[in-house]
Structure 1
Amino acid sequence: MSFSSAALSQAPSPAGPPATGEPWWKSAVVYQIYPRSFADSDGDGIGDIAGITGRLDYLARLGVDVLWLSPVYPSPHADNGYDISDYQDIDPVFGTLEDFDALLAAAHDRGMRLVMDLVVNHTSDEHPWFRESRDGGPGSAKRDWYWWRPARPGMEPGTPGAEPNNWASWFSGPAWTFDEASGEYYLHTFARKQPDLNWENPEVRQAVHAMMRWWLDRGVDGFRMDVINLISKDPALPDGRVPEGARYGDGHPFYVCGPRIHEFLAEMHREVFAGRGERLLTVGEMPGVTVEEARRFTDPARAELDMVFQFEHVGLDAGPGGKFDPRPLRLTDLKASLARWQTGLNETGWNSLYWNNHDQPRVVSRFGDDSPAHRVRSATLLATVLHLHRGTPYVYQGEELGMANAPFAAIEDFRDIESLNHHREAVTAGEDPARVMAALRARSRDNARTPMQWDAGPHAGFTTGRPWIGVNPDHTEVNAAAQLDDPESVFHHYRRLIALRHSEPAVVHGDFRLLAPEDERVYAFLRRHADSGTELLVAANFGAEPTAFPLPEGWSGARTLIANVPGDPLPPAGSLPLGPWEARVLTRRLP
């Protein structure tokens, strides 16, 4: 890959305090670790905290500023740790609190911050809070810590249709489970073993705030907050509209960005974060959030969150049947979506930038081309486009290597509860099993959860034991060891992009203007930063056929700042030739 600035060839350094006085996290890059699949230190086939600590030098070499850990708390792992049974400890499968403290200290020694995953929309049904709520019956002191309701009037409790309302669970089936011992139902917007906390109860909020302070006092640098915009429900719990062909109703209007969500987050900020200085990062994962809502959540004057994760762009390839009804992505839709968020949060608020995470399939297989001919080029193009937007980029483990979706052969190869539930319901309903499997291969969350590919050896160097989920067989070609010493690798292109964010104010603070919004092949935009006098032009060919992009006035002869093609491209004249999956970033001084 090409880069013209000598500074970009040096080892990236973590983002320090910005000279502009802006928050540090605007020039930072976050790396998400899924601990179960990152690195196994003890040979039991499951990644652990000591394994992460042993790989910190790799992450420091990449140049990232923040590590975000998916949950490492005690859990029965019905949803791979997003069902927490103890908020103030470490699951033995991952290690101990002492292991965690050692990881935190080692990350800080290398100039990296560490952010925990906070899951407080729901707990595990094995959490002591829920056990007391359930086992004590309607008279329990913690009964109101969760959403308990009787059957519908006139309906026999425990029979189909007797649920308190008709809401569907995100993980298939109804959002209510009947408890025979107490004769009532409890709400779980996700899995049956993930009962929702009742944030209307101030005791719940106080307990959550105390737990968060405990982790911050331990030295943690902030939280990524799982589905945090679902914590406020309409207390009336009304029925939702039943979509055509569906068995259950859509409850989203009654708990997505619910009636008290801003109040709850402002209270959290006052009780947990206020007065702790500028070192912390707060990120809210928010399915269904709109640009207008995100502007309010991330407005510094409102003191709620630093940034949000939105899902609009990763829903563009879903068909009428949802995520397991995939359709090809239209580039014009992707450009329109990302540009809407760029402009919508330009004056107030801040964007999170991501392609991948633990819930999304691998982007090189999804929006790129994972064939041997184009995997490297399309992976680096996608990285270039994302990292040159305005916002804080997130790199999901293995993304920096161009890891791809796995070729799951049978349903027995999957581990994800969402995928397994969908397969069971769809096949039972009469759908073609082959079609269901094809959709799972394309969209299952397990695509992101196959082990990190460290080398070409057994189990990709992830473990000396039997991995909890199968390793992608392409690890013999796609792995860290093969890329670390290859300057043309996906890994080193990510290093250069991260270094560019640390050094070029136009990347962090420049405004954004989309070019050629109707072009079906080229994604192009401008980043302009008046204070530094710099303007950048990003152009990327999303396809395997060569093309050319007509340059705006004044860009002929512009210098290439960074590109994903070998060599040093000549300055363009009139139009910018782009080969298959080629991305180039041009730079010029403002007129």
Structure 2
Amino acid sequence: MPDWVDHAIWWHAYPLGFTGAPVHGPDADPGVRHRLGRLAEWLDYVVELGCNGLLLGPVFAAQTHGYDTIDHFALDPRLGGDEDWDALVAAARDRGVRLVLDGVFNHVGRDHPRARAALAAGPGTEAGRWVRWTGDGDGAVPEVFEGHGQLVVLDHSQPEVAEHVAQVMSHWLERGADGWRLDAAYAVRPEFWRSVLPVVRARHPQAWVLGEMIHGDYAAYVAESGIDSVTQYELWKAVWSSLADRNFYELAWALDRHRAFLDVFLPQTFVGNHDVTRIADQVGDARHVTHALAVLFFVAGTPSVYAGDEQGFRGVKEDRAGGDDAIRPEFPPSPGDLAPDGWPVYREHQRLIGFRRRHPWLVRAPGSTVQVANEQLVLESASPDGTERLRLVLNLGDEPFAPQEGVGERLLRSGGLDLAEGPEGVVPPHAWAVFRAQASR
């Protein structure tokens, strides 16, 4: 994996929604609309937050929401054209911000030229080999992704498909991208990436490749596919669920799993993204939202912040047409137009990201669970040379909490409270704190 990834902290944005592009159909005013530049207006905000990477949702020409691609080589006209992409790359480079693109390579929209040709020609034909088919003879129909009729699944056993994907990945890496998020990687056979990635990496050895894995054997998929990392959905679920249910035993179990993954790969960690209910809604109790952030920036992994979570945005994902709209809202033209009540959450993110930057070794530190109860959790991480040991203490209870093992200097505390407030080594109700652990005797 490229070394730069150890220092990457991502701000994850869904460009179509972020820029106010229509996602359920074309613009009323057809033609190229130059919306992508609105993201560039937020780059200083991203850097001030402490992030140095922009993890983008789909930007390629598509029929609706971006995951029904019709041209992998063209920017979606709802976002702009080549000049808009080049301008975003230049603005990001000026600020030291990396760019990762969302590659939808498991399936394409029905209006993709290859899909149209395949559907017209049928199975058993040269054109038809591009997609997977279900059934035999005249009854054969194209396979679609998870019941979505507009998403036609590609046949990843075909060399032409692998060649096409390698060309797309290399094309955008040459045009300024630093890596790829592979959408629905869990649905693609890992050996497909074994045929694609060597071609890409021969030309772009510093590219980072992240796979979307919601379920499955994460470590085995990384080992068999050759990708660098996967989305750590297991940890995401355990974080919000433990906070919502006040059951830290679930999180402690998930962290044991997380530590085992570190022997194989560095997971991509998050508490929110474009596909899930906002963390502020998942947790429920507003007093516990920043507990999730404390875990995110204390445990090992490559962390990302979903745009808006740093302002305390709310939004519930619903299983219906348009059910993602609430979690993929349009943003104002500039950060100065944000509502004032979100800035305390932003500053909490800043403090935690700053803490992570001051302790960069946390990115790969496996750590350990020191103490666990339903409403309290104590985690510890140590630097590789053993010169520094830190403890994160989380308290969801109604009473102050003092860990069984004493802690040393308090480095960080929830709510931006004065570090000197309260008894030494005690975490107030519904709060968290980071301490420098006392030396072992």
Give TM-score scaled by structure 2 length.
Answer: 0.88
Partner of 1:546 in structure 2? 399
User: Are the structure 2 counterparts of residues 551 and 451 from structure 1 closer, same or farther at C-alpha, using a change threshold of 3 Å?
Assistant: farther
Alignment of 1:145-544 (within 5 A): 145-150=130-135, 183-190=139-146, 191-232=148-189, 261=190, 263-278=191-206, 280-290=207-217, 294-298=218-222, 304-315=226-237, 329=245, 331-370=247-286, 374=287, 378-405=288-315, 418-420=319-321, 445-452=324-331, 461=337, 476=339, 478-479=341-342, 483=343, 489-517=344-372, 519-531=373-385, 533-542=387-396
Matched, 1:587 2:440: no
Aligned partners of 1:526, 1:571: CA distance in 2, in Å? 22
**SS state at 2:233 partner:** coil
Aligned partners of 1:590, 1:289: CA distance in 2, in Å? 40
Partner amino acid, structure 2, of 1:308: V
Matched, 1:134 2:134: no
Partner of 2:4 in structure 1? 24
TM-fit CA distance, 1:151: 5.7
Partner amino acid, structure 2, of 1:383: L
User: Are the structure 2 counterparts of residues 329 and 129 from structure 1 closer, same or farther at C-alpha, using a change threshold of 3 Å?
Assistant: farther
Aligned partners of 1:218, 1:108: CA distance in 2, in Å? 12
User: Are the structure 2 counterparts of residues 521 and 454 from structure 1 closer, same or farther at C-alpha, using a change threshold of 3 Å?
Assistant: farther
Aligned partners of 2:34, 2:411: CA distance in 1, in Å? 38
Aligned partners of 1:211, 1:454: CA distance in 2, in Å? 31
**SS state at 1:220 partner:** coil
Of 403, 408, 426, the match for 1:576: 426
Partner amino acid, structure 2, of 1:104: V
Aligned partners of 2:159, 2:265: CA distance in 1, in Å? 28
Aligned partners of 1:120, 1:350: CA distance in 2, in Å? 23
TM-fit CA distance, 1:86: 0.5
TM-fit CA distance, 1:445: 3.6
**SS state at 1:193 partner:** strand
Aligned partners of 2:429, 2:204: CA distance in 1, in Å? 50
Q: Deviations over 1:93-136 (max 9, x none)?
A: 11112101110111011000100000101000110010000112
Structure 2 contact 395–427 (Cα < 8 Å) conserved = no
Matched, 1:62 2:49: yes
Partner amino acid, structure 2, of 1:143: G
- Counting aligned pairs with the same residue, the percent is 25
Structure 2 contact 262–364 (Cα < 8 Å) conserved = no
User: Are the structure 2 counterparts of residues 265 and 50 from structure 1 closer, same or farther at C-alpha, using a change threshold of 3 Å?
Assistant: same
Partner of 1:560 in structure 2? 410
Of 61, 67, 70, the match for 1:82: 67
Q: Deviations over 1:116-163 (max 9, x none)?
A: 0001010001100100001123454220111123369xxxxxxxxxxx
Aligned partners of 1:453, 1:49: CA distance in 2, in Å? 13
Aligned partners of 1:315, 1:396: CA distance in 2, in Å? 15
Structure 1 contact 506–536 (Cα < 8 Å) conserved = no
User: Are the structure 2 counterparts of residues 84 and 332 from structure 1 closer, same or farther at C-alpha, using a change threshold of 3 Å?
Assistant: same
**SS state at 1:576 partner:** coil
Aligned partners of 1:316, 1:44: CA distance in 2, in Å? 43
Aligned partners of 2:375, 2:240: CA distance in 1, in Å? 20
User: Are the structure 2 counterparts of residues 476 and 214 from structure 1 closer, same or farther at C-alpha, using a change threshold of 3 Å?
Assistant: closer
**SS state at 2:251 partner:** helix
Aligned partners of 2:340, 2:50: CA distance in 1, in Å? 23
TM-fit CA distance, 1:314: 4.7
Aligned partners of 1:572, 1:528: CA distance in 2, in Å? 25
Task: Answer 1 or 2: which has greater helix percent.
Answer: 2
Structure ranking higher on relative contact order (CA contacts 8 Å, 6+ apart): 1
Q: Deviations over 1:203-257 (max 9, x none)?
A: 111111111111111121010111112112xxxxxxxxxxxxxxxxxxxxxxxxx
User: Mean Cα displacement is larger for which, 265-274 or 101-110?
Assistant: 265-274
User: Are the structure 2 counterparts of residues 266 and 137 from structure 1 closer, same or farther at C-alpha, using a change threshold of 3 Å?
Assistant: closer
Aligned partners of 2:122, 2:210: CA distance in 1, in Å? 36
The root-mean-square deviation of aligned C-alpha atoms, in Å, is 3.2
**SS state at 1:347 partner:** coil
Please identify the structure whose Cα radius of gyration is greater. 1
Structure 1 contact 397–452 (Cα < 8 Å) conserved = no
TM-fit CA distance, 1:336: 3.3
**SS state at 2:436 partner:** strand
**SS state at 2:72 partner:** coil
User: Are the structure 2 counterparts of residues 314 and 534 from structure 1 closer, same or farther at C-alpha, using a change threshold of 3 Å?
Assistant: closer
Structure 2 contact 42–334 (Cα < 8 Å) conserved = no
User: Are the structure 2 counterparts of residues 451 and 87 from structure 1 closer, same or farther at C-alpha, using a change threshold of 3 Å?
Assistant: same
User: Are the structure 2 counterparts of residues 274 and 329 from structure 1 closer, same or farther at C-alpha, using a change threshold of 3 Å?
Assistant: farther
Q: Deviations over 1:238-297 (max 9, x none)?
A: xxxxxxxxxxxxxxxxxxxxxxx1x2222222111235243x22111012123xxx2344
Aligned partners of 2:176, 2:92: CA distance in 1, in Å? 11
Give TM-score scaled by structure 1 length.
Answer: 0.67
Partner amino acid, structure 2, of 1:577: V
Aligned partners of 1:317, 1:75: CA distance in 2, in Å? 34
User: Are the structure 2 counterparts of residues 455 and 64 from structure 1 closer, same or farther at C-alpha, using a change threshold of 3 Å?
Assistant: closer
Q: Note the residue ranges of structure 2 that are not aligned, 5 or more in a row.
A: none
TM-fit CA distance, 1:47: 9.6
TM-fit CA distance, 1:380: 2.4
Structure 1 contact 40–51 (Cα < 8 Å) conserved = no
Partner of 2:78 in structure 1? 93
Partner amino acid, structure 1, of 2:60: Y
